[in-house]
Amino acid sequence: MDLDQIVAETAADIEPHRGKGKVADYIPALAKVDPKKFGIAIATPDGACPKAGDADESFSIQSISKVFTFSLALQKAGDDLWKRVWREPSGTPFNSIVQLEREKGIPRNPLVNPGAIVVTDHLIDNGDADAAIDNLLRVLRDHAEDDSIDIDYEVAMSESETGARNRSLAHFMASFGNLENEVEVVLSAYFRQCALALSCAQLARAGLFLAFDGKDPVTGERIVSAQRCRRILAVMMTCGHYDNSGDFAYRIGLPGKSGVGGGVLTIAPNEGAIAVWSPGLNDAGTSTVGALALEELVERTGWSIFG
Ligand code: GLU
C-alpha cells in the first residue's frame, strides 16, 4: 500500500471542504486560527511519516492530551483508577455537569473534562502541579522523539481566565471527596495540558505506541502493557468524541480522540497512528473536515477495525 499516495489523495479529496465547521471561539488564541488550515500525518512502524497540508504546523491539542494523561494514570494507579472514574460513554457534552450530581461525583470516563480532571489530580504528587506537567511534557517529547514540543502559555492563560465551567466541575467533584489536591492546583495542571501545542506529525508519532500493543515499534520501548493498551483503545473507541463517539465509530471505525483545537488522534492497530487537524468543529466539538479526511483514509486503506 502506498501511504504517501493515499495521504496525498485524501488531502486532495477534502480540498473543497476546507474551512467547514465552526472554529472554537471561547478563547482568542483558538478563535483567531485560520479555519482553512488542514493537516494530516500517519506515523508508521518503520519510522516514516507520510503527511500532507499543514502537517508540520503546531496547534492546540486540547482534549487529545487526555489520552496521554489517562495512559500515565493507568500506569501509576493500575485498576485503582476505576474507583474514581468510570469507563462508560457519557452521551453528554465534554463539559457537562448534570451526570456528576446523579452519579455522586464519579465522572463517566477519563476522556470527558471531569474525568480528565480526576486523572490529572491522580498524576499530582505532594501538590506539585509543575512536576506533573514537567513529567507529561517529558513523556510526550520522548514518545515523539522531539524536544521542541511545548506548551502554548497564551492558551494556558486564557483557559484559566475562561475556566469557570471546569472550576465548577472540579469543585463539584471535590464536594464528593473525589479530588486529592486543591482545585486550583489540579486546574493549573489541567489548563496547561490542554494548551500543549503539537503538529500532526508530532502527535501521530507520540501516539504510535498505541497502535502496537503499547510498545513503540521504532525504538522498541515498551510504554504500557499490551493489556492496558487494549483498554485505552477501548475507551477511546467508546468515549473519545463526547456525544459524537457513536457517529465517529460508525463512520471511521477506529479508536480516536478529538480536541476543540480541531485535532483528532486516531489509532489503526498494527498499522499506525493518524493525526489530522482542521479547526472547524461540528456541534459536538469534533473536527468536521478532520473526520471527513479520516473517513476517506479508512475507505482507501481498509483500516477500520470492523473490516
Ligand atoms: N480546554 C477545553 C476545556 O477543558 C478542552 C475541551 C476539548 O478539547 O474538548 O474545556
Selecting among 71, 190, 235, 287, the annotated active-site residue is 190
Nearest CA to ligand 1 atom 2: 62
Strands 272-277, 263-268: pairing is: antiparallel
255 CB-near residues (< 8 Å, 6+ apart): 210, 233, 234, 236, 237, 240, 266, 267, 305
pLDDT at 243: 87
pLDDT for 192: 98
Architecture in CATH of 3-301: 3-Layer(aba) Sandwich (3.40)
Which pLDDT score, from 0 to 100, does residue 278 have? 98
Residues of the chain short of pLDDT 70, as ranges, are none
Rounded to an integer, what distance in angstroms lies between the CA atom of residue 149 and that of residue 300? 31
pLDDT of 94 = 72
- Ligand 1 mean position, distance from CA 2 (Å): 35
Site to substitute for ligand 1 among 260, 282, 287, most atoms within 8 A of C-beta: 260
260 is catalytic: yes
The whole-model pTM stands at 0.97
Active site residue 153: no
Query: CB–CB of 280/35 below 8 Å?
Result: yes
CA of 105 to the centre of ligand 1 (A): 19
Catalytic site includes residue 63: yes
**152 within ligand 1 shell (Cβ under 6 A):** no
Determine whether the shortest distance from the Cβ of 63 to ligand 1 is under 6 A: yes
Active site residue 139: no
